[in-house]
Structure 1
Amino acid sequence: MEKLFAYGTLKDKDIQENVFGRILQGVPETLLGYVVKEILIEEEFGMESYPIIAPTNNNEDTIEGIVYDLTLQELQLADTYEGSHYKRVEVQLQSNEFAWAYSAKV
């Protein structure tokens, strides 16, 4: 199983149902050394603002989220959902576990 740290729309049960075909069961977790910023993405009806994580290298900066266990196929579905503006990066969580998270493509 793959671990995914979700901090934004992937925590939404309706989105999970649409992307994965099921509601995910996760556990609360904290990401250290990152802050949430905003990214503007052009959508069908104009520009929309979405959250994005950005590293600060300061462990006092934290993001609360949820860690989900996904199959490799489900992780690939998450990649497709996040689209071309996001990239999957490996992060270390407060629990010292490693998980995937989505950050801005540079």
Structure 2
Amino acid sequence: MDKLYYLLGTPNYIGCFCSDDNNTRTGAIYDAEEYVNRMEDPENYGIGSVTAYSTYIGWQFEDYGIVIIVSETSDSGAGSLRVNIQDVTISYVPITYGTLEDVFGSNAVSDFIAAK
């Protein structure tokens, strides 16, 4: 991430996805406060006190986009919160596929700033 920041500058796209049955799903209108709450309290969401979520951090340029996808799970089954990174992917999205918003959903930058 540091190398990409150095090469590409400040990311201009953030997206999120939390489980598959709520309004943080890809392409939906994001609610960053709900997303953060679900990460902190997985026993209230998901299956068996485990919540799966992904964060998309990207750079949209005129002809292409680059996005880092971090897939994680949070588990509170043993009485304490444990977060595990399951996968980290870097994807190149040519403009012929659309913008990062077209592919991964609404840009949640303003929601994340407001939730902070």
Q: TM-score, normalised by structure 2?
A: 0.24
Higher normalized contact order (CA 8 Å, seq sep 6+, divided by chain length): 1
Specify the structure having the higher radius of gyration (Cα): 2
Q: Which has the higher helix share?
A: 2
